[in-house]
Amino acid sequence: MTDAQLVGERAGQVVQAAETLFAAGVMSRSGHANLSARTGRGRFLLTPGFVRGLRPEELATVGFDGQVLDGTLQSVSAEIIAMHSVIYRARPRVGAVIHTHSPSATAFAVAHRPLPCRTEPMLRFGQAEDVPVVPWGPRGSDVSVRGVADALERCPTTSAVLLANHGLLVFGPDSAATAHLVVAIEESAEAELAAAAIGGAVDFPEGAVEAVRASIARVAS
């Protein structure tokens, strides 16, 4: 596959992931989000601004250093290049990053409360632990980016973080898997808030993670 073909493939995957998020109803009323996909050493595709009705040719190629290598970005996206690149630097196996203002997950971010892992979809889609909170910093600032880096170091197996007073940041092997985890986290946050009205959510029993992994393995074999 040529570099151009790889970029085209990844761009199509980003567009499909954005459509998945809207179809699942996990986006905020504004539709704000930014999505990226790694395309090679030191570079990734990034959405230009708002992503409703996104087309593959609208994505820009940017470097980890913040330079726009191809295409154009609105200032709203240019500000957050470092937020995406810090994840790609820290996690070489991450192939995609998605940031949303999904309402229920953002409620936990605003409350500065980690989101517990108490729903099976979170286990199945790669977040078998609480989603940690990154302390607030101005959008795309060094303070915010350092907070993300610190959270990744402190929680080396997490696939998501909550940005305090801001929103949700999720990362995974590819755009589809990352979008599915965004949906699972938002649904879990909704369930946590609903369960609070009837006495509160309850943790999984001991061994739940292993049981789910065994179930997945049986189906896959």
Q: What is the pLDDT along the chain (221 residues), one digit of tens a residue?
A: 788 888 999 999 999 999 999 999 999 998 889 999 999 889 999 998 778 889 999 999 999 998 999 988 887 777 789 999 999 999 999 999 999 999 999 999 999 999 999 999 998 898 989 999 999 998 878 899 999 999 999 999 999 999 999 999 999 999 999 999 999 999 999 999 999 999 999 998 888 878 877 777 676 55
What burial class does residue 156 get, using C-beta atoms within 10 Å of its C-beta: 0-12 exposed, 13-18 middle, 19+ buried?
exposed
- What pTM value is reported for the model? 0.94
At 112 the pLDDT is 98
Q: Catalogue the E-assigned strands of the chain.
A: 33-40, 43-46, 60-63, 68-70, 96-100, 133-134, 160-163, 167-172
At 75 the pLDDT is 76
At 220 the pLDDT is 58
Identity of the residue numbered 117? C
* Distance in angstroms (rounded) separating the CA atoms of residues 5 and 100: 28
Q: What is the residue-wise DSSP string for 133-178? A: EEPP-STT-HHHHHHHHHHHHHSTT-SEEEETTTEEEEEESSHHHH
At 218 the pLDDT is 72
Identity of the residue numbered 186? E
At 173 the pLDDT is 97
In the chain, the domains with their CATH numbers are 3-220 (3.40.225.10)
At 110 the pLDDT is 98
